[in-house]
Structure 1
Amino acid sequence: MRRFGLLGFPLTHSFSQGYFTEKFQRENITDAGYENFSLERIELLHDVLKNYPDLAGLNVTIPYKKQVLPFLADATETVKEMGACNCIKITDGKLYGYNTDTTGFRSSLVPFLKPSHTRALILGTGGASAAVAFVLRQLGIGYLFVSRRPYEDAISYEMIDETILDSHQLIINTTPLGMYPNVDACPPLPYHYLTAGHHLYDLTYNPPETLFLKQGREAGATIQNGREMLVLQAEESWEIWNS
């Protein structure tokens, strides 16, 4: 039996576990199982690797996409460049890092892009934001990071005004704000400045329409959630684990 799993904290709900369990049943894959590893500290990964010698691969989610890097024996150039890993293949006890968020994000975003989407706001500065920034660079789209506090590479939410929103008509939320069960939360933006020219992308998929997306839709913007991205990155993970 090959074991795969999801590494993160907290894992109050898991797209990956449900998706792969259904995939194994649908495709009659009888030699594989998938489970959650909800770890309060990344150091506990040592215990997981010791206690589950049959572990063949991991997906990695919030907050460990960056923190997991010291555990890797090697990684793709993409992972090294962005400093974030969301997929691990385990071979002979050694961990090899990949990033499938980039494929999922790019493929799902491109059909929504308009000529006016030349600059973007990336809400959040965690591991998912690194994948988003990587793809935007590939697409030639400029971007600003937005964080709770301003620093060298990011502005704060308080600094966002009508001028910034007018010049950044693509907005990607990589934070967990609004994710179930905290569905009444959203990034603190001046949503009244949004227009029909804006596109809002929330990497969250549960609920399907977060408060962030709802306010964008009500302002006339186009919106999308992260479910398609998750499906695409999950399938690429499966290809990596079986290559």
Structure 2
Amino acid sequence: MTKIYGLLGKNISYSFSESFFSKKFEKENKDCSYTNFDLKDITAVEEVIKNETVQGLNVTIPYKEEIISYLNELDPTAKEIGAVNVIKFDKNKKLIGYNSDYYGFTESLKPLLQKRPVQKALILGTGGASKAIAYALKKLNIEYTFVSRTPNTQELSYNQLDQNIINSNKLIINCTPLGTHPNVQNYPNIPYEYLSENHILYDLIYNPSETTFLRKGKEKGALISNGLQMLILQAERSWEIWNT
């Protein structure tokens, strides 16, 4: 019986995961397939879970938090983060939620930090992905502040970002979908004129490979990275989780 793995999300035809795992299964001669479960509403996940051939799932926008109520158990890291991007079906068909986003981000960020160490960071956006980023930064002892269009008392709004804040936060991570293909002209509204060669700009977006956010940073001499390496690392970690 062919084992089915897949991705839960909404409007995910662009997804990296399907092509990554399909190539992996072909290369390693695995009797497995990977499919996109494009759900208009999270309640449709019940049908996917019932499918006897489904052995494991990835989860993407906008369901990384909503999926939790459908799971039997959370790995301690996923519980602390409050977001899930990997679901393991154990031998009793119990659903266990994990987070491999933080691992992918941490390991892809480390080489950049070796070139340009930082102490403080801005996280643009407050969705499920940003929670894993915050967890990773905490483990790396990097102080962080969320930037939101609708900030709470601990967060900054975009119009509060000034020269002093940009100067003191040398790492800026875009966790919003702004700039994703096909709307490549969009970008987070930060004061790019205050960026310097001491900054690192990291965009979780991987399509296009260089977003407007990254290009504007590069023009100021900043070190830049898109989210492709993070995706590859988190996908490999997903495979390990499903098979242990």
Do the structures match in fold with TM over 0.5? yes
Structure-2 separation of matches of 1:35 and 1:175: 25
Give the TM-score normalised by structure 2.
0.96
AA aligned to 2:202 is Y
* CA–CA separation in structure 2 for the residues paired with 1:8 and 1:187: 23
Q: What amino acid is aligned across from residue 212 of structure 2 in structure 1? A: L
State the match for 1:153 in structure 2: 154
Secondary structure of the structure 1 residue equivalent to 2:66: coil
The amino acid of 2:52's aligned partner reads P
Quote the offset at 1:94 in angstroms.
2.1
Query: Which secondary structure state, in structure 1, belongs to the residue aligned with residue 123 of structure 2?
Result: strand
1:20 aligns to what?
Answer: 21
- The separation in 1 between residues aligned to 2:110 and 2:39, in whole angstroms, is 34
What is the aligned partner in structure 2 of residue 105 from structure 1?
105
> What is the rounded CA distance, in whole Å, between the counterparts of 2:178 and 2:8 in structure 1?
20
Q: CA deviation at 1:93?
A: 2.9
Alignment of structure 1 residues 154-169 onto 2, 5 Å: 154-169=155-170
Partner of 2:141: 140
* 1:131 match: 132
The share of aligned pairs that are identical, in percent, is 51
The CA deviation at 1:72 is 1.0
Count of aligned pairs between the two proteins:
241
Deviations 1:112-138 (A, max 9, x none): 115651000001111111111001111
Alignment partners' CA distance in 2, 1:116 and 1:231 = 24
- For 2:33 and 2:153, the matched residues in 1 are separated by 44
For residues 20 and 82 of structure 1, do their structure 2 counterparts lie closer, same or farther at Cα, with a shift above 3 Å needed?
A: same
Q: Match of 1:117?
A: 118
Amino acid at match of 1:146: V
Q: Which residue of 2 aligns with 1:39?
A: 39
Instruction: Could you tell me which runs of 5 or more consecutive residues in structure 1 were left unpaired when the two chains were aligned.
Output: none
- 1:163, CA displacement in angstroms? 0.6
RMSD of Structure 2 on Structure 1 (CA): 1.1
Tell me how far 1:41 sits from its aligned partner.
1.1
Counterpart check, 1:89 vs 2:58: no
Q: Deviations over 1:165-197 (max 9, x none)?
A: 000010001111101111111101111110000
| SS of residue paired to 1:171 | strand
Stretches of structure 2 lacking an aligned partner (at least 5 in a row): none
**Structure 2 residue matching 1:56: 3-state secondary structure:** strand
Q: Give the match's secondary structure for 1:37.
A: strand
Q: Deviations over 1:43-68 (max 9, x none)?
A: 11012223x22111101111111111
State the 1:152 CA deviation. Answer: 2.4
2:60 counterpart letter in structure 1: T
| TM-score with structure 1 setting the length | 0.97
Q: Determine if contact 2:8/2:39 at 8 Å carries over to the other structure.
A: yes
Matches within 5 A, 1:172-183: 172-183=173-184
Identify the residue that residue 224 of structure 2 maps to in structure 1. Answer: 223
Aligned to 2:190: 189
